[in-house]
Amino acid sequence: MAKHTVTLIPGDGIGPEITDAMRRVVEATGVDIAWEVVEAGADVMEKYGTPLPEHVIESVRKNAVAIKGPVTTPVGTGFRSVNVALRRALDLYVNLRPAFSIAGTGARYDDVDIVIVRENTEDLYAGVEFEEGKTETLELIEFVEAHGAGSIRRDSGISLKPISITGSERIVRYAFEYALANSRSKVTAVHKANILKYSDGLYLDVARRVAAEYEGRVEFEDRIVDATCMGLVMHPEDFDVLVLPNLYGDIVSDLAAGLVGGLGIAPGANIGTDAAVFEPVHGSAPKYTGKDMANPTAEILTAVLMLQHLGEREAADKILAGVRSVLAEGTKVTYDIRRTNTGSTDGAVGTQAYADAIIATF
């Protein structure tokens, strides 16, 4: 029996290609993993009547660790995101998105080392929405007005932003525990509490209360989200661990990915009490499907996070060193990195050739 069994969800779009590259790189380290491959997304809709079949969730529950490629969320079909549904089904309340500089990516900075801790279950992503024109939407508008909470135009659609003490407390605590476990010195709580008094204001109150428990061990500060974005672009070295509610976390983590070379290299993890699902920040990039062009670095660095989580430090370090060496050397890189570095995609290699170059460093 293998030492670890991991659920592998290849996803769609560029997902199958980049997960294939990732799997080959991981296997080449010699780590003992058995993959349980299960499919999710639009392609299984016809067969199972849902894009996220129960056996996929069960597989992750059983193995407690999964790694996935991106899954497309068709716009305007009533088909909710598989990624959001999976996070919700397994209560994966942490979305961990490290952004660190790697030489050779052509990024504008070379000294970024930040970790975004994004709340993953509530806020505007809770999926509590009221469609424009529906009876219940008009009732909600009347309820709001009857309670003196303001006025809303009758032709509005409404998305609610619930932020709870429970959700805020566990994510902020996770950020502090992560800082302690990874020798990080500061946690910045990001919010818009000056405007959103009862949602972000509550989040900030809870953050301050939790931070007090870590006083003297981890530094704490809070910042408004807009000022955070400017600060990150001007002085990313001022930041260490950032903890954010769901929507700001989503946006700021793409910004952070941009600081270190783009979505093609940004890894991520969704972590709960009983399971962890590792996935890159980027989506399925449909226009590159099947072209052997996509950059698998984000998926491969996502596997590094997974191996660290599994306690396989040696394999994780080996892969990270391999990625660093191939990117620094600069000749066997995918089109996106090539373009950033030279202004042209000429001389770029494909997804699998790049993975082979990493394997060749082992």
Does 19 interact with ligand NAD (rule: CB under 6 A)?
A: no
For ligand NAD, what does the binding mask look like between residues 79 and 108, x meaning CB under 6 A? ----x-------------------------
Say if residues 319 and 28 touch (Cβ distance below 8 Å). Answer: no
The string of DSSP letters for 12-79 reads STTHHHHHHHHHHHHHHTT--EEEEE---SGGGHHHHSSSS-HHHHHHHHHHSEEEE------TTSS-
Applying CB under 6 A, among 294, 306, 349, 358 the residue interacting with ligand NAD is 294
Does 72 interact with ligand NAD (rule: CB under 6 A)?
A: yes
Applying CB under 6 A, among 4, 88, 282, 338 the residue interacting with ligand NAD is 282
Determine whether 226 is an active site residue.
Answer: yes
Cα–Cα distance for residue pair 118/121, rounded to 1 Å: 9
Applying CB under 6 A, among 231, 283, 292, 308 the residue interacting with ligand NAD is 283
Determine whether 125 is an active site residue.
Answer: yes
CA distances from 161 to 126, 165, 224, 247 (A): 7, 13, 17, 10
Cα–Cα distance for residue pair 302/347, rounded to 1 Å: 26
Determine whether 111 is an active site residue.
Answer: no
The residue from 93, 125, 214, 354 that is catalytic is: 125
Determine whether 32 is an active site residue.
Answer: no
For ligand NAD, what does the binding mask look like between residues 334 and 353, x meaning CB under 6 A? --x-----------------
Applying CB under 6 A, among 102, 112, 115, 285 the residue interacting with ligand NAD is 285
Cα–Cα distance for residue pair 327/330, rounded to 1 Å: 5
Cα–Cα distance for residue pair 210/170, rounded to 1 Å: 9
User: Where does this chain touch ligand NAD (CB under 6 A) — which range of 68-76, 106-114, 136-144, 224-232?
Assistant: 68-76
The residue from 68, 192, 318, 332 that is catalytic is: 192
CB count within 10 Å of CB 58 equals: 13
Does 305 interact with ligand NAD (rule: CB under 6 A)?
A: no
Applying CB under 6 A, among 279, 307, 316, 338 the residue interacting with ligand NAD is 279
CB count within 10 Å of CB 199 equals: 22
Question: Which 207-266 residues touch ligand NAD, going by CB under 6 A?
Answer: 263-264
Nearer to ligand NAD, 218 or 326 (CB): 326
Residue whose structure tokens are 């079909």: 77
Say if residues 137 and 156 touch (Cβ distance below 8 Å). Answer: yes
Per DSSP, 142 falls in state H
The residue from 203, 250, 336, 354 that is catalytic is: 250
Which residues of the shown chain bind ligand NAD in the complex (CB under 6 A)? 14, 18, 70-73, 83, 263-264, 279, 282-285, 288, 294-295, 298, 336
